[in-house]
Amino acid sequence: MTRTHDHPPLAGDEQAQTPDAAGHSWAHASGWMQLSGSRQTLSCVLPCQNQARILSKLLPVLSDSLTECGYPWELIVIDRGSRDQTAELLGAWTELPGFRSLRLQTQATQEDGFAAGLVAARGDAVVLFDPGVLHSPELIPRMVLLWEADAMLVHASPDPETGMGVLTPWDEALTRRRIEHADFMLPTGCTQLGLLDRQLVDWMLDAP
């Protein structure tokens, strides 16, 4: 994904809650999270098109994995003009705390979906997840642990021998060296399953 300010127009209204003074009313948080007073948040961006069957199985697992990370979270599903039962499915899920949906025009690409999701995401870390790729949501808590250890970017790739997901972190120094190049792009696989620190997201959105 390249840096861009050009985002596809929305074909429908965003479903979201209005943030409160603390800025967290939009996020899903367990009781102990609320009592702990955690101020960091997590977003997950998931573009899709005609994948209602996959989403019906994936969304509960993603919800559990995000909750396991220990931060208030939001899950933003970007519907690229699906013609199956995706809209009906998301209508039910977005009634729950933390779930949001955006609908793009039918011709929007997967990259358009991720770009729109990055603009909409409000978390201190943003997870990018492609539902069409066989990556396990159970990797997300491990990615968050690497982020807590100061990684600004973490991406997953399958191990050719075991088929299990292998996580590659970029620390702040490596990330800043990479983004100094005019032709910077996210590493291959980052939009299949990757995590970006808010500083990197803001840089990508603000860069010309």
- What CATH homologous superfamily does 38-206 map to? Spore Coat Polysaccharide Biosynthesis Protein SpsA; Chain A (3.90.550.10)
For residue 59, the model assigns a pLDDT of 96
Per-residue confidence (pLDDT) for residue 27, from 0 to 100 = 76
Q: How far apart are CA 189 and CA 10, in angstroms?
A: 26
10 falls in which pLDDT band (50, 70, 90)? very low
pLDDT reported for residue 157: 87
Whole-number average pLDDT of the chain = 84
Q: Please give the average per-residue pLDDT across 187-191, as a whole number.
A: 89
Q: Quote the CA–CA distance of 79 and 48 in Å, as a whole number.
A: 5
**SS3 at position 159:** coil
At 114-140, the pLDDT tens digits run: 999 999 999 999 999 999 887 889 999
Q: What is the pLDDT of residue 53?
A: 95
Domain extents in the chain: 38-206
pLDDT above 70: residue 54: yes
Residues 187-205, mean pLDDT to the nearest whole number? 94
pTM reported for the whole predicted model = 0.83
* Rounded-to-integer distance, Cα 197 and Cα 73, Å: 14
Residue ranges of E strands in the chain: 42-48, 73-79, 99-103, 125-129, 151-158, 165-171, 193-197
Q: Is the predicted pLDDT of residue 2 greater than 70, yes or no? A: no
CA 129, CA 9: separation in Å to the nearest integer?
Answer: 21
